[in-house]
Structures are given as C-alpha cells and as structure tokens.
Amino acid sequence: MTLNDTLLLSFRAVTSYRARSLLIILAMALGVAAVVMLTALGDGARRYVVNQFSSIGTNLIAVMPGRAETSGAFLGTTMGRTPRDLTLKDAQLIGRLPQVKRYAPLNVGVAELSAEKRLRDVTVLGSTADLIPIRHMNLAQGSFLAHDSDHSAQIILGAKLAHEFFPASNAIGQRIRLDESRFLVTGILAPQGESMGYNTDEIVIIPIDYAQSLFNTTSLFRILIEARSHSDIQSAKTAIHDTLKQSHDGEEDVTIITQDAVLNTFDRILHALTLAVAGIAAISLAVAGILIMNVMLVAISQRTPEIGLLKAIGANAADIRRLFFAEALWLSLAGTVIGFFLGQFGSLLLRLAYPQLPAWAPTWAILAGIIVALVTGILASLLPSSRAARLDPVKALGKK
Amino acid sequence: MIHLADITRIFQMGDQSVYALNKVRLNIAVGEYVSIMGPSGSGKSTLLNIIGLLDQPDKGCYELDGKNVTDLTKDEQAQTRRDKIGFVFQSFHLIPRLTAAENIEIPLILSEIPPDERKSRVVEALHAFDLQSRAQHRPAELSGGQRQRVAIARATILRPKAILADEPTGNLDHSIGAEVMMLLEALCQTGTTLIVVTHDRELSARAKRHIGMRDGKIVTDTS
C-alpha cells in the first residue's frame, strides 16, 4: 500500500468514528494547551518581574553599609564594633572612579509634610540631582537642583502629593514644610505608580544635606551608582570595593550588589518555575498518550473482522501496522494543532485580562509541548498497531 | 492448478490433538467448479483456509499454480492471496464505513495500482455486477444480495486464478442466493477456478465436482 493511500484510508477511519476521535483529540489538545498556557503564565511572570527590575535603572550598582556574611561570625560583632558609616565622602570618592557614569547618595526617612492646613506623613528621599536619571524617574514639571543649586532648599513632590496639597493651583513655586524646615517646590514627578515596593507617586525628594540634618545623621542609607556600560559593571564593583576598603582603613564593611546579579537571580528562579509548571502540564500529555493507546486497542478489537478481511485479501503485516499507526498519528496531530491554537488563544485572553503581564508562551515550551505530544502519540500507537498486525487472519475473520 | 499432497492440520484442544485434516490429497485443475460438503467439524473450512493460504498445514505439500507455497513467509502468503485468490464469505465482510465503490477498490489499493487505473477498473466492476446506482452507498444501505455482489466484485477485481467461497449464500434468501451463484458460475466459465464450501445439498449439486468430507478426510469425490 502506498503512503498516500495509507494516510487517506486511516484518515477515513478517524473521520468515521467521530465521537471517539473528537474525545481523543480533545484530550490531546487540552494537554498541549495546558503546556502553552501555563508556560505563557510562568514566562509572563518572569518577564514582568525582569521588566519591573530593569525599569528602576540601567547598569545599577548599590552600596550599603554593613557586610552581609553568608558564613562565619559577623565581623562587627566579634570585634565589638558596629560597621563603619557610609558617608558623603565615600560617595564622592566613588564618583571619581572612571567606570562610574554618575552616582547618587541616598537617605530615606519619614517626615511630616504640611502646607495650608494640610498635613500627612511622607517618605522622604534625600539625594542629589543625579538620582532622577539614575532611577529612571521623570519630572512632569520643573527641575531638581538644576544649575549648581545643590544647597538650596528645593523639594520634588510625587504626582499624587502635588495633587493632594495643591489641588487648585500649580505646585511649582509654592512653599511647603517638611517637619520644621521650609522648602520650595521646584518639580513634580510624573505619575509612575508602584515600582519595586514603594509608590513613587507618594514620595518627596530633597537635597541630601537637608535630609541628613532632618534625620540627624551623617550616615548614608545607600549609594546608587550607574556604571558607564554593562561591561564596566564588574570592574566598577571591584573598584568601589577597593576604594571603600581603603577609605575604611582596610575594613570590608560594605555590601555591594549589582542590579545585574539580582536580575539574573530573579530570572533564574522564575525560569525554573516556568520549567516546573511545564513539566506538570506535560503529565497531562502522558495521560492523553495513554488514552490514545487505550482507544486504539479498543478500536482494534472492534475492527478485528475488518483486519482479518484486509489480511485475507492480501494486506501484509506492515500494511496493517501502518494503517493503525497512521490513524493514531492523525489523532495526536490533530490534537496537537488544536491544542496549540487553544493555548495561544488562552494566552491572548490572559494578556487581555492582565495587560501588565506579557503572557507569551516561550518558543522552547511550544516546541517541547508539540514534540512531547507527538512522541507520546507515536509511542502510544506502537503497541496497538503491532498487535493489529500480528492478528491471525482465520481467527480475526471468525470473530463476529 | 491446486495440488495438495498429504496435507495434515492438527489443532490442540487442551491436551488433545485433533486432526482437522488428515493426510488430505486433492488435485483441482484450472477452471474447475468444485463443491466441498460435510458436517460441521469435518475440516472443510480448514481445507478452504489452507487452499486460500490463510492457514498453513502442519505436514504435507501444497502446490498452487505450479509453485510450491507450503513454506512461504506470512508476507509472501499475503501477496499470493492478493494476486491469485479471491475470497467470498458468508457474512460478506465489507468495511462498514466505506462505500461500495471503495470496498471494491481495496485490493487495487493493496497492490498499489495507480489511482486513475483504479477508478476505471472499479467503474468496470460496478457495471459488471449491476451496482452502478449503488456505488456511493455504504454496506448498511445495501440489501444482502447487493452486499454479496459488492463482495464478489472485490474478490474478482484483481482477476484471481481461484475464487474460494465459504457458504456464499448462507445469509441470503433462496432466489437471491441463486442469482449470486449464477454470477460466480459465470466467472468460472471464463476460466476461474471456483471452490464452494457449503452445507446446502442443492447448492452443492450445481457444481461439476463434489467432494465430501468427514473427520478431516475426503470420503467422496465425484464428478
């Protein structure tokens, strides 16, 4: 029998037993769709987190006081000393390094913002003008510490705060109090919403000097650094480490983390999660495969007289084997194709329901899903088709 | 055409050996019309299966069309069945999901004849057996006589040397059975060997040569 005829005849069998075929195809399709949709969800979550994390800056390095030890005793406690402060001088030293494009010292605290009988507690960031570009923040209006006005009492308001305190008039140029100090509003942040844990619409930014006196500290909370390029990150990290060690009398009492490393960690964890989810979904493909085997075995016992007849009129074992094999192949192929589209449609619905989530199934997952489905279908049809091929024609014909 | 020499076929029934055929010798010439009669269990169906290469003897030698076919492999048997033998069964054995024309076409598909030629040969066969108007009907939509005509058309489409019919009229009423037999006999007159296995004395009487079987042996052979 030619390949063409084998495919045609087996296709006829698939379309003739409609209910049976539809049920198997559905089982296979759901398996493939599950792989596509769940990996779309997993990978969407990964991309969401990575995007969020990338949006806070480019080539970022953060320096924080104290050393995070992963083994052994904490240095400060054994020596009876607390870690050395991170100071503005340290920040300036870092700023001179050739790999550093710009840097921003940072202090964070809470203070009471008040103007015209309104008051509320706000998160205060104390920093320099470079904080805005480093953190990829945008000013909707005005400027921050422009033209060497580093030491003037300027304040930037988050979009929501500006609207709350000055609903009727433009906030720029207005005076506002932060605890006991008076500030001039020179800029308003563009609305940005939640990002990495806090809402930039409800913060204020003031110069670092004012923040340090407001919170009565000389120690910095962080130094944020932007490296010149992605390839400079590692050498910048080493240079910062050496500089601070030198300036802290040889003590390694700071922790330096790179955005890159954190990003990679997130990426790895969420990728592993996607893989795990894909694996779970693939179990449903194995179940569909067993279903195909089951149904094909039933089909063979139902069609035993037909197999006997085919053998009597001259079909050889290979013809019969190929016929049933092709039949199972059609079923798994149809299930796979339908499942693929079903999964893509499901992912589209996910994207429509959660626009922030880029729920696209990764290509590897789609390919793996399709290949696993087809291989399962093929494996599942080997046993039934070879059983059909082995049937004894006399017995097969005699069976009613 | 068919030479059976000391053909023995043994079936195991539990721990007992049953001789379905016991040293059967039989020669059938080209174009002969032979009926095989006998009670149930006399071995007539086993004999037909062995002649039709559906079954293999445990002992003996079988020569078909000048060729020793006793020790063919299963695939060679299948090929010989396809090219030289046509089967007609009591219960027709049509494939229910295929139309009459498609059922007739199957042997042509199995021997890989190109589609164009297949089509014209099927049309020819439909004509010969007066089934033109039934070509696109499925077996369930055909009468018993029509179904058996489709089965005969299928059995003869590759122009076999021999037609083996096992109770071909067993599921048909009397007049339709007679019509079917006339079709088979017409084929026999064109030189095809016809072997009919039956219980029916009247049917058997139509043949030129009558073989009687009992307990795995040929007991009568009259012309």
Give tens-digit pLDDT for A27-61.
899 999 999 999 999 999 988 888 888 888 888 99
Determine phi and psi for A205, rounding to 5 degrees: -125, 130
Closest by CA to A327, choosing from A22, A7, A20, A17, is A7
A136 or B137: which carries more pLDDT confidence? B137
Q: Report the 10 Å Cβ neighbour count for B205.
A: 10
Task: Note whether A208 and A269 are same-domain residues.
Answer: no
Domain count, chain A: 2
Domain B32-58+74-222, what architecture?
3-Layer(aba) Sandwich (3.40)
**Which residues have a Cβ under 8 Å from the Cβ of B143 and sit 6 or more positions away?**
B176
- Using the 3D structure, point to which of A220, A235, A256 is the last residue of a domain: A220
Residue A68 scores a pLDDT above 70: no
Domain boundaries, chain B: 32-58+74-222
Q: What residue in B sits closest to A17 (Cα-Cα)?
A: B97
Average pLDDT over residues A187-196: 78
Average pLDDT, chain A: 87
A251 Cβ contact list (under 8 Å, min separation 6)? A75, A83, A84, A245
Residue A76 scores a pLDDT above 50: no
> Considering only CB atoms, which chain A residues are within 8 Å of B87?
312-313
**Residue B22 pLDDT more than 60?**
yes
Residue B28: the pLDDT is: 94
- The answer to whether A151 touches A209, Cβ cutoff 8 Å, is yes
From A159, A188, A220, give the residue that closes a domain: A220
**Does residue A98 lie in a domain region?**
no
Put simply, the answer to whether A5 touches B111 (Cβ < 8 Å) is no
Q: Tens digits of per-residue pLDDT, B110-142?
A: 999 999 999 999 999 999 999 999 999 999 999
Confidence of residue A254 (pLDDT cuts 50, 70, 90): confident
Mutate to test the interface with B, among A3, A11, A309 (most CBs of B within 10 A): A309
Q: Could you tell me if residue A62 is inside a domain?
A: no
- The span from the CA of B161 to the CA of B65, in Å, is 8
**Residue A73 pLDDT exceeds 80:** no
Contact A9 B75 (CB under 8 A): no
- Which domain does A157 fall in, by range? 104-220
Q: What percent of chain B has pLDDT over 70?
A: 100
Give the model confidence (pLDDT) of B37-65 as tens digits.
999 889 999 999 999 999 999 999 999 99
Asked if the structure places residue A66 within a domain, the reply is: no
Whether residue A187 is found in the same domain as residue A311: no
In this structure, the answer to whether residues A276 and A346 fall within a common structural domain is yes
Alpha carbons within 13 A on the beta-carbon side of A268? 6
Same domain assignment for residues A215 and A135: yes
| Residue finishing a domain among A220, A251, A283 | A220
- Note the ipTM here: 0.92
Query: pLDDT digits over A209-225, tens only?
Result: 999 999 998 889 999 99
My answer on whether A204 and A300 are in the same domain is no
Per the rule left: phi > 0, alpha: psi between -120 and 50, beta: everything else, A106 is beta
Reported as half-sphere exposure (CB side, CA atoms, 13 A), residue B64 has a value of 19
In a domain, A89, yes or no: no
Q: For residue A279, is it within any domain?
A: yes
Contact between A95 and A226 (Cβ < 8 Å):
no
Q: Using an 8 Å CB-CB cutoff, list chain B residues near A394.
A: 49, 54-55
Chain B residues touching residue A308 (CB < 8 angstroms): 93
With 80 as the cut, is the pLDDT of residue B13 above it?
yes
